[in-house]
Amino acid sequence: MKKYNVGILGATGAVGREMLNILEERNFPINELRLLASSRSVGKEIMFRGEAVKCQLAQKGAFKGLDFVLGAATNAIAKEFASDIVESGAVFIDNSSAFRMCDDVPLVVPEINGDDAFLNKGIIANPNCSTIITLVAVNAINKLSKIKGMNASTYQATSGAGVGGPLELENQMKAIINGGEITNEVFQYQIAENLIPQIGSFLDNGYTTEEMKMQNEGRKIMHLPELLVTCTCVRVPVVRSHSISVTVVTEDKLDIEAVKAAIANEKGCKLYDDPENKIYPMPLVTSNQDLVYVGRVRQDLLNEKGITLWCCGDQVRKGAATNAVQIAMKLAHLDEM
């Protein structure tokens, strides 16, 4: 079996470390692993397959000889090194939002449009975490009848804001219990015992940048250029796994049982839908694994062509790290094994 030289840009962050876990779990054939980070992390050792791997400085020339570079850094870092990565001959699979809407950059969810990855010119973009989870959940419906529109509300975990998010939630909960001072730095307001209906910055249309990703990225991933999406994104006091309530409107009226059967057979999905026995997706059920759990599947009461469902998925894994590794596996034809 061919082995690959793999680099991780931003290796010491939450997503970078999760990428390492996924590469190990999936037994990705690696010849050389190169961990690239900022100067403050140079020399830091991270365990991989029982061996300590030292972090190197992310700088021009650091990507020579690599086949894949998995990006787990900020937009600014991704833009800074993208051209050097491409010139080195590696494929840059980037988790930032820097290149998602570029016409010449494929935006890929392997279960939905995996073949688009082969159209790359050196860069492939990983979609937004909530977009990935939602689209994996509704992809089976789109195969039954073309989706014309979606109305979604996301309930996004604190870890979606980085490693500081859960820590801020924990510190605030301790302060509440012990009567201490509650401070917030990561989020706009106190997140403990609260919901914040803003993720991203507001646009002229009243939606946030995060909310518009569902429509803009959804159109590109699902090859539905006329898809319309109304979305509200909410930060919730949950550590891990995003949840989404979504109603899709299709061209044809669909039978609910046929929809459930299609979801149950869809790659990347798990139908988890038995309300009588209180079985439905929740963050605690879906964390630390890669499937998108789908439940509460029912007929919409406002539109006979509407289907409403509830889904949950681990946004650090399937919403970020796992999706990137799956793209690399697709390119290496490892998904066919």
Q: What is the pLDDT of residue 317?
A: 97
Residues 85 and 284: their CA atoms lie apart, in Å, by: 38
Do 117 and 217 fall into the same domain? no
List of residues 6+ apart from 31 with CB closer than 8 A:
3, 4, 5
The CATH number linked to 42 is 3.40.50.720
Looking at the structure, tell me whether residues 217 and 197 fall in a common domain.
yes
Give the alpha-carbon dihedral of 225, 261, 306, 113, to 10 degrees: -10
Q: What would the two tokens of residue 90 be?
A: 């590696």
CATH number of the domain that residue 281 is part of = 3.30.360.10
pLDDT for res 336: 62
Are 169 and 198 part of one and the same domain? yes
Residues 171 and 292 in one domain: yes
The pLDDT value recorded for residue 251 is: 98
Count Cβ atoms within 10 A of the Cβ of residue 107 and give its class: 0-12 exposed, 13-18 middle, 19 or more buried: buried
- Residues 114, 203 share a domain: no
Rg (CA), the chain: 20
CA angle 49, 50, 52 (to 5 degrees): 100
Residues annotated catalytic, as ranges: 129, 242
The answer to whether residues 151 and 223 belong to one domain is: yes
Task: Dump the DSSP string for 304-322.
Answer: TTEEEEEEEE-TTIIIIIH
- Give the residue-averaged pLDDT of 106-128: 98
Instruction: Say yes or no: 64 and 168 in one domain.
Output: no
Number of domains the chain is built from? 2
Question: For residue 39, what are the domain limits?
Answer: 4-127+320-336
Mean pLDDT throughout 221-231? Answer: 98
Q: Looking at residues 154-163, what average pLDDT do you find?
A: 95
Q: What is the pLDDT of residues 291-332, one digit of tens each?
A: 999 999 999 999 999 999 999 999 999 999 999 999 999 999
Overall average pLDDT of the 242-247 stretch: 98
Looking at the structure, do residues 150 and 92 belong to the same domain, yes or no?
no
Q: What pLDDT was estimated at residue 335?
A: 78
Domain co-membership, 11 together with 157: no
289, pLDDT greater than 90: yes
Residue 166 has pLDDT above 80, yes or no: yes
Q: pLDDT tens digit string along 323-335? A: 999 999 999 999 7
Average pLDDT of 60-65?
96
- Pair (161, 121) in one structural domain: no
Tokens of 329: 């596996």
Same domain, 31 and 122: yes
pLDDT at 337: 53
Mean pLDDT over residues 31-49, rounded? 95
Distance, CA of 155 to chain centre = 14
Which amino acid, one-letter code, is at 112? I
Tell me: do 115 and 150 sit in the same domain.
no
